[in-house]
Structure 1
Amino acid sequence: MATQEKRVPPNRTQSPFVHWTWDCRSAVGLFATLLILVCAVGVRSMQAQELKDIPVDHSNPGLYKDHMAIKFQCHFTIEYLSGSDNYFTSREDLNPDVSSIDDLVKEFEQKTNLRVVVDRQDEQHPVLHLIDKELGKKSEVLDRKIDFQYSGRVGDIAAVMEKQRIPGIEPPRSGIGPLEAFNDHVTEVTIDVKQTSIRHILTHCVDLDEYKRTIWSAKTYQAEDGTWKTQIRFYGPRGR
């Protein structure tokens, strides 16, 4: 009778390479998780440091705005009438514990002489336009829709608009005070738009990921000839 050969079952043990591959994947996943946590902690630490650097005065809309910009990761612009102190005073203390941008808008409008226009075109970068109520219809100069092409320094935009005879717009003059101490002649921008409001052009011509929480201000005053002029200045990239 023929002898049957006894078959030895194959070795089912996984190769060391398979173990090494899975170990690598686990390590990469763990590293990515740790990196996300470190970044989140870093962002919170930077926000905490930013807040620490801002004086606390809940009766001052300007300082309150700086705190809220960090809290809600939003941006602001400022439109004010020359000689008015509405940007620096409120009727009562502003609440630092508001929980949403909508509540923040109500806080400004109920306790200050500022009205607020919210721009949510970029969901990641909501912009709140603070507008002095004393401006009235004088603020409509920034509502005007224009065709505008420009490539150069952002701080020169108003000068170019003035040269193009866009009514009411002019570059900032030298001044004193926290709103008039700077104009950004570093950031380069390229603009090519048609029938777009001046306010929108000024707001969205810069990279908001890199730009200061207060993007620009517009000071309106009455010239000697009785006409109203609005001076635009930009506040520069973060870290400057």
Structure 2
Amino acid sequence: MHLAAQAGVRYAMENPNSYVHSNIAGFVNLLEVCKNANSQPAIVWASSSSVYGLNTKIPFSEKDRTDQPASLYAATKKAGEEIAHTYNHIYGLSLTGLRFFTVYGPWGRPDMAYFFFTRYILQGKSIPIFEGANHGTVARDFTYIDDIVKGCLGALDTAEKSTGSGGKKKGNAQLRVFNLGNTSPVPVSDLVSILERLLKVKAKRMVMKLPRNGDVQFTHANISFAHREFGYKPTTDLQTGLKKFVRWYVSYYGSGKKDDH
């Protein structure tokens, strides 16, 4: 299971090389080691919902084209999917890519909106809420970590053996890609309202235009393929998931104003 990556859409504009280093070179290094192994392992790895880029047809399906990434991060994840195809084709490596949709929860990434919104609300700082063109809603298909873990295990359980060994292909091998989402996009303003209720603090909202930093206006997963293949069925709605996150956040950082470490 290969989950290591340089994540985050916005940081790619500051440090593009870190994305090439981890998401492309790092992935190729892993595949090189695996293809030479005797016997080759099957690999499940993290792609991203960001590969859907500027697509407007929703919900996003694995059959849709993914050739208009909106960020370098998305482009490196798309590159990973193409590289996976190559190693599957030449060496018979069994590869499953998982397109995660906005994963959140305890121990999550501090650079993600739900996380720093929580910090800013508790500190009384104003939070930036982006909107699309013509005041369009920005929404995300938030997926709770436990549901993502279930999807990862389902993919591992149904991964077939690689067909090659020692760099030689012996037959066609499994090549799959799955959406792992929650199938219910939530406007970011609703996310803030839920956090306000849970934290019992009113947020200072600062509505701004969505900048051209690689963020897309919405994501929405069609998960019927993962459901069909290994019974993937998310069970945590945003309200429930954020309640668990806030409980963790307060126990980890405290709810006071001195939590900016």
TM-score computed with the length of structure 1 as normaliser: 0.24
From the two aligned structures, give the one with the greater strand fraction. 1
Tell which has more relative contact order, 1 or 2 (C-alpha 8 A, sep 6+): 2
* Larger radius of gyration between Structure 1 and Structure 2: 1
TM-score computed with the length of structure 2 as normaliser: 0.22
